[in-house]
Amino acid sequence: MTRTAATLAMLAAVALAPVSPASAQRSKPLVLESVGSFYVGGKMTEIDGRAAMAGHMYVEYMIPARKTQPYPIIMVHGGLRSGTNFTGTLDGKEGWAQQMVRRGYAVYIVDQVGRGRSGLYEKLYGPLRVSDAKGVMSRYVQQKKHALWPQAKLHTQWPGGDEMGDPSVLALTASQLPEIANFRRQQELNRDALVALIDKIGPSIILGHSMAGAFLWPVADARPDKVKAILGVEPNGPPAHRVDFVGAPEWFKYGPLALSYGVTDVPLTYAPAVASASELKFVQQDKPDAEGLIRCHLQAAPARQLPNLKMPILVVMGEASYHAPYDHCTVKYLEQAGAKATFMRLGDLGIKGNSHVLMLEKNSAEIAGAMAQWLAKAIPSQRPARRLGNRG
C-alpha cells in the first residue's frame, strides 16, 4: 500500500469510527417502549429466473415509553442518502428521530425504495446514479469558496473542517448511496410504498427532505384523510422548471420543465381536473420577489386547485442553503393552488447559517425544536384524561 493510500484508509477509518463518549450528546437516557424494523409495499417478481421482492421499503421505528402525541412522524430522506440522516448528526449528537421521540412522537424512518436496506435491482429499476464528492463539497461544505448562489456566504453550521480529508466530510461522503437514476420512477415507487406504510400504521405526519419533497404531495393527495400534516424540509423544487446555479453576476440559469405536475412529476388531483400534465400551464414572474431570489414559475391564471392538500403544511428553509433562492416559490405555488402552507425561514427565527443538510449540522436540535413548536400548534397533543379522586 502506498503512503497516499494508507493515509486515505486511515482517514476513512477515523470518519467511520464510532463517536467517542466525550463528543457524544449529553442527555437523559432515551426510554423506548419498542424499537424494530419491517418492510412494507412491493410485490413478487422474477429476476433472471429467480423469484424476488421488488418495490418494497425498509422501515425502522422508535416508539417512546411515554407517547404523548396522537400521530407518528414518518421521516423520508433525500437524494443519494438513507434513513441514517435522521438518526445522528456528523458531530455525534442525536438525530431528528431521537429528538422527536423525546417529545412524545412515535417515529418511522425509511430507506427509500431502491436505496440502502430496501435493496436495489438495476434490472428492474433501471440505471443507477452515484454521488459526486465534488458536488458534496460545493453544495454543503465549501459554499463560501464556490459561491454559486447569493446566500452561500452565510454558511456557518458545518460541524468540522472544510477539506476533503476532514472526518466530517468523509463521514458525509460515506453516507451517500447509489440511487435510481430515473427520478420519475423514484417518485412512482416511493409514492406507492409510502401509501402502503400509512395504510399499515394509520394516520401520520410525513416529513420529507429534499428530493423526497416530490413524494410528499402525491402521498398526501392519495391519502388526504390519513396524512395529518406535512413537514417539507427544503422540499424538491422549485416548481415546474429546473434552476441551475452559475455564480455571480447572473446567479441563476433557468432550465427545462422538470416537475410536470408543478411540485411533482407524477399525477396529482387538480380541480378542475386534468387528463394529463400537458393541460397545466406555467408562467414565470417578470421579476423576483426580492434580491437574491429566482423568478418563480406559477400556474397561469385561473390557477387550478389542489383540493386534497388541506392538511397543515410547513416548508422549512435554511438561511445559507441553495434552496434559499427558491423555496418561497414552492410556498407560493401551494398557496396559489389553495393549500395553506407556513413558510419557516430559519434565519428569521435566529437559527442561522444552515446548508441544505441542516439535519446533520451543529444546530440540528434547534431546528427540530422549531418544527416541534409548529406541530404543537398545528396538531393538538394527546393529553391523558385527568383522574378525579373521591371528594368524600
Query: Which CA distances in Å does 122 have to 54, 142, 186, 193?
Result: 11, 33, 13, 18
Cell of 69: 402525541
3-state helix, strand, coil in the chain (%, to 5): 30, 25, 45
Catalytic residue among 82, 138, 210, 364: 210
- Are 147 and 164 a contacting pair, CB within 8 Å? no
Cα R_g (the chain), whole angstroms = 21
CB atoms within 10 A of CB 185: 17
Provide the angle, in degrees to the nearest 10, between the axes of the packed helices 213-222 and 183-201: 50
Nearest 5°: phi and psi at 197? -65, -45
Q: Residues of 82-116 as b/e, b for ≥16 C-beta within 10 angstroms? A: bbbbbbbbbbebbbbbbbbbbbbbbbbbbbbbbbb
The answer to whether 82 and 58 are in contact (CB under 8 A) is: no
What number of CA atoms fall less than 13 Å from residue 232's CA on the CB side?
31
Catalytic residue status for 210: yes
Catalytic residues: 210
